[in-house]
């Protein structure tokens, strides 16, 4: 019986190794396409950003001129927001903090994997909650910022799949794209004078 089990294990090991290898190869094949999609999407987002923001520079400057010194968040203003907005803000702030820890922590350890799963959940919460938010920088419609939400909804599962397939390069690239290219950029835009984050901390 023991010899049979040992033989089964020895036969299963090459199969598992072959599956892992095929998963890594498939993930590697998809990365150039993802980079192309991301580059095109980034160019579109940049054009839309300039098209929407440039005509409003005067209003941003006017709001900035009325700013007070930075202060603790206005909790009354926060609690007055719809549920989707509150979930979005809390998840985004959590994702920034946890993401910074992830970038500084040692990769591949149990802590990194567990906290990384939590961060992926936060990013999905940020993206999905944003789909229920409108009436911001682009009037009553979705804005170009929702492009970033689409990226996150697509790229977070792919980044997790890359990690589970042991495709470290692809996993790292996707995670850094989302943290630096999505979370921090949209976070900076959220603090434009007159927008909600600005009002929470500067009005």
Cβ 99 vs Cβ 179: under 8 Å: yes
Q: Is residue 67 domain-resident?
A: no
Residue 182 domain-assigned (yes or no): yes
pTM of the model: 0.71
Residue 119: its pLDDT value, please?
Answer: 94
For residue 181, tell me if it sits in a domain. yes
**Looking at the 3D structure of the chain, how many domains does it have?**
1
Domain annotation covers residue 66: no
Given the structure tokens 């299963």, which residue do they identify?
12
Encoding tokens for residue 160? 């997790």
Which parts of the chain have pLDDT scores under 70? 1-32, 34-35, 37-38, 41-42, 45-46, 48-49, 52-53, 56, 59-60, 63-65, 67, 135-141
Range of the domain at 50: 2-57+73-202
Residue 38, Cα to own-chain centre: how many angstroms?
A: 13
Instruction: Please give the backbone phi and psi of residue 21, each rounded to the nearest 5 degrees, phi first.
Output: -65, -40
Report residue 51 as tokens: 């098209």
Determine, yes or no, domain membership for 68.
no
Question: Is residue 18 in some structural domain?
Answer: yes
Report CA dihedral (183, 28, 21, 104) to the nearest 10 degrees. Answer: -30
Q: Is 195 in contact with 137 (CB distance < 8 Å)?
A: yes
For 94-136, write each residue's pLDDT tens digit.
Answer: 999 999 998 888 887 888 888 999 999 999 999 999 888 876 6
């Amino acid at each position: 019986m023991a010899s049979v089990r040992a033989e089964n294990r020895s036969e299963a090991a090459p199969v598992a190794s072959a599956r892992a290898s095929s998963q890594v190869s498939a993930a590697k094949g998809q990365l150039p396409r993802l980079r192309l999609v991301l580059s095109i999407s980034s160019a579109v987002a940049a054009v839309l950003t300039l098209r929407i923001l440039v005509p409003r520079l005067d209003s941003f400057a006017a709001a900035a001129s009325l700013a007070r010194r930075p202060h603790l968040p206005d909790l009354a203003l926060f609690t007055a927001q719809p549920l989707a907005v509150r979930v979005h803000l809390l998840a985004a702030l959590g994702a920034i903090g946890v993401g910074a820890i992830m970038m500084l922590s040692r990769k591949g350890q149990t802590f990194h994997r567990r906290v990384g799963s939590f961060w992926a959940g936060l990013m999905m919460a940020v993206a999905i909650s944003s789909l229920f938010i409108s009436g911001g920088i682009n009037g009553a419609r979705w804005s170009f910022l929702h492009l970033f939400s689409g990226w996150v909804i697509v790229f977070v599962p792919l980044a997790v799949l890359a990690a589970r397939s042991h495709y470290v390069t692809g996993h790292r690239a996707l995670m850094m794209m989302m943290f630096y290219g999505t979370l921090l950029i949209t976070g900076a835009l959220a603090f434009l004078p007159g927008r909600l984050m600005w009002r929470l901390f500067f009005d």
